[in-house]
A and B are shown apart, each in its own frame.
Chain A
Amino acid sequence: MKPINCIIEEVRSEAPLIRTFRLDRNFDPAPGQYVMVWIRGVDEIPMSFSGPDTITVQSVGEASAALFSLGRGSSVGLRGPLGNGFVLRGKRILLMGGGVGTAPLAFLGEQAKSASMKVASLLGFRCKEDLIFRDRFEALGDTIITTDDGSLGIHGRVASGLKELDLFEYDQIYLCGPEMMMWDIISRTAEHAKKTQACINRYFKCAAGICGSCCLDPDGLRVCVEGPVVMADRLLESEFGRYRRGPTGGKGPCKG
């Protein structure tokens, strides 16, 4: 499809470097699906939905900085929704997220709650100021918060909140956040990998499953069309958490 022109109807600041953009169109996405956002004259970047008509973006590079310069009434070109999102399963679910990665989980949790599922959340942030969507998660059910600097909740990484939970109580676990945070969780909770859905990130260029830049070793999983939500047991024996390819296709370290 050609990019669809969308008007930004509202911009909300969620944290110092995180903003939510509400668009003039409901894409009816599944949480975990993404959209390619074309900031004209700059670049096209993948963004996760934080609601049916919202994307929540952290300013990390040139394209997201350009998006931050756009206000209400500005327009962007969008391709999507793309990829495979989260699938709701069971009666009792756990959301585990870090930073801006909590955005699709808030969206997922709201769908789960409307489907009468019981939702609990474990969320990690760098510090109190970086916290986003606290109200949305607390409205869903029990919410545990960790901060790296101890300014709120449990002092430590997301995984330090695991001791407060019994993962056997949950039918399905949903994970989204920085790669090393997700890897930390997945590798510590490997016995639950078969019921853990992780929304992961690779360098997308085409977002159509043909250029090959996002393929995951060792199976060549095309993350842009076969993900970005992948079952964690598939990630345990993959490149995930070990290395990732950048825009040249060369391997580099995982960050975050």
Chain B
Amino acid sequence: MLSLSIHAGGLQLNNPILLAAGILGTTGASLCRAARAGAGGVVTKSVGSLPREGHPGPTIVHVDGGLLNAMGLPNPSYKDFQDEIDTARKGGVPVIASIFGSFAAEFAQIARSLKADAFELNLSCPHAEKYGSELGRYPDLVESVTGAVKAAADVPVWVKLTPNTADILELGLAAQRGGADAIVAINTLKAMAIDIETGYPILGNRFGGLSGSAIKPVAVRCVYELAGRLEIPVIGVGGVSTWEDAVEMIMAGASAVQVGTALLKGYGVFEEITTGLSRYLERKSLTLEELRGLAGRRRS
């Protein structure tokens, strides 16, 4: 089978299909399982500086074409997470620690204290007060947080952006100015669902983030816009569940692709996507590099 190995965002990856943050990333064992199932890299559940239990349930709702969630950043704090990362590394692929905070120094403190192969800055969770997109929608904060973590960390720093903004490119440029090694786009779209029997919003937090197939066209557009203008790699995430979706995301300009909600079908999704992608490249006689950003080069 054709090699899918790539160098992206400062990491050497066996293949470009990674496990997205927040999915089966609470324990080292489940991350390891994703690695053994064929993920080219795994991103942990986001960890912050203090333990959080997250929002009350329901924490997820299935909706047409996707999934709505409001987990609320549950995590044991970075002080109680190194063991999980160390276990995850036994899977043999890079482990990217997703981290969150409410100001630059908090992010930097976590990055200084944790040992991982890279950091992914959660500047995009749409449903946690004082965190995520509440910072990540301001370009100046994106730049300063990125800069602070870059100064604190000796491994690559990826910045995960929110689509809940008028101009995602502005956020990408800010992360690039801050020194990011890669952009990860996109996080979930802020959304809600209401129980029509009673009028209660279904999610315990009322609002949540929409993921899954429904948001793929939004993600493809964001990746296309970012990859067309940035000098750093863009990692595409949002609604990828098949190899065809991954091809589309790479054509939009993604150097690597993360998979999240598709794990509802089980861990087999990694092998399905990598096998399909590999066969596609063989059939088209293309390399991953030639595929990347193809849509941007097609004119008239």
Partner pick for B59 among A5, A211, A215, CB 8 A cutoff: A211
Contact status B202-A3, CB under 8 Å: yes
Which stretch, B2-10, B18-26, B100-108, touches the partner chain A? B18-26
Q: Find out whether the CB atom of A250 lies under 8 angstroms from the CB atom of B263.
A: no
Q: A217 contacts which of B29, B45, B58, B193 (Cβ < 8 Å)?
A: B29
B54 touches A205 (CB 8 A): yes
B161 to chain A, nearest CB (A): 22
Is A77 touching B195 in the complex (CB atoms < 8 A)? Answer: yes
Residue of B whose beta carbon sits closest to that of A45: B57
Q: Which of B70-78, B140-148, B238-246 contacts the other chain? A: B70-78
* Contact of B62 (CB < 8 Å), options: A2, A43, A217, A251: A2
CB distance A212 to B58 under 8 Å? no
Q: Is the CB of B33 within 8 A of A219?
A: yes
Chain A 195-223 interface residues, beta-carbon cutoff 8 Å to B:
205-213, 215-220, 222
Among A34-42, A81-89, A125-133, A149-157, the one that faces the other chain is: A34-42
CA distance A216 to B28 in the complex (A): 10
Count how many pairs of residues, one from A and one from B, have CB atoms less than 8 Å apart in the complex. Answer: 130
Q: How far is the CB of B37 from chain A (nearest CB, A)?
A: 10
A2 CA / B63 CA spacing, docked (Å): 7
Please tell me which one of the listed residues A208, A222, A248 contacts residue B76 in the complex, with CB atoms under 8 A apart: A248
Contact A212 B23 (CB under 8 A): yes
Q: Is the CB of A220 within 8 A of B195?
A: no
A32, B62: Cα distance in complex, Å: 23
- The smallest beta-carbon distance between A208 and chain B, in angstroms, is 6
> Interface of chain A, helix or strand or loop or mixed?
loop
Cβ-defined contact, A248 with B60, below 8 A: no
B260 to chain A, nearest CB (A): 8
Bound-state CA distance A2–B201 (Å) is: 12
CB distance from A180 to the nearest CB of B (A): 22
**A205–B264 alpha-carbon span in the complex (Å):** 14
Contact B24 A210 (CB under 8 A): yes
- Cα-based distance from A245 to B51 in the complex (angstroms): 13
User: Given contacts A3-B195, A215-B24, is CB(A38)–CB(B264) below 8 Å?
Assistant: no
Q: How many residues of chain B get a CB closer than 8 Å to chain A's CBs?
A: 45
> Is A146 on the interface with B (CB-CB < 8 A)?
no
One of B45, B56, B198 near A43 (C-beta < 8 A): B56
Q: Are A1 and B62 in contact (CB under 8 A)?
A: yes
Interface: A71 (CB within 8 A): no
CB contact under 8 A between A2 and B195, given known A40-B200, A208-B60? yes
Contact of B26 among A1, A209, A213, A218 (CB under 8 A): A213
Among residues 3 to 50 in chain A, which have CB atoms less than 8 Å away from a CB atom of chain B? 3, 5, 36, 38, 40-45
The secondary-structure label for the interface of chain B is: loop
Bound together, the chains give a CA A36 to CA B260 distance in angstroms of 22
**B62–A42 touching, CB < 8 Å:** no
What residues on B are CB-neighbors of A73 within 8 Å? Answer: none
CB closest residue in chain B, given A40: B200
Pairwise interchain contact A36-B57, C-beta atoms closer than 8 A: yes
B204–A43 contact, CB under 8 A?
yes
CB of A239 to closest CB in B, whole Å:
9
Answer whether A210 and B57 are a contact pair too, CB < 8 Å, given A3-B195, A205-B74. Answer: no
Q: Does B193 contact A2, Cβ atoms closer than 8 Å?
A: yes
> Does residue A75 face the partner (Cβ distance < 8 Å to B)?
yes
Q: Is A249 an interface position by the 8 A CB rule? A: yes
- Could you say which of B27, B69, B264, B266 has the most chain A C-beta atoms within 10 Å of its C-beta? B27
Q: Which B residues are in CB contact (< 8 Å) with A3?
A: 58, 61, 195, 202
- Measured between beta carbons, the chain A residues less than 8 angstroms from B26 are 211-213, 215, 245, 249
Expressed in whole angstroms, the Cα–Cα distance for A222 and B263 within the complex equals 12
Task: Tell me if A247 counts as interface (CB < 8 A to partner B).
Answer: yes
Docked CA distance A249–B24 (Å): 11
Residues of B within 8 A of A220 (CB): 24, 27, 29-33
- CB neighbours (8 Å) of B112 from chain A are none
Which 9 A-B pairs have CB atoms at the shortest separation, nearest pair first? A44-B57, A250-B76, A220-B29, A220-B30, A247-B53, A212-B24, A220-B33, A212-B26, A215-B30
CB<8 Å pairs between A and B, sample of 11: A38-B202, A42-B56, A209-B266, A211-B24, A211-B60, A217-B28, A220-B29, A245-B26, A245-B27, A246-B53, A249-B27
18 more contacts with CB within 8 A, not counting A205-B54, A251-B80, are: A2-B63, A40-B198, A41-B200, A79-B58, A205-B74, A208-B67, A209-B264, A210-B23, A210-B260, A210-B261, A212-B25, A213-B26, A216-B29, A217-B27, A217-B28, A220-B33, A247-B54, A250-B80
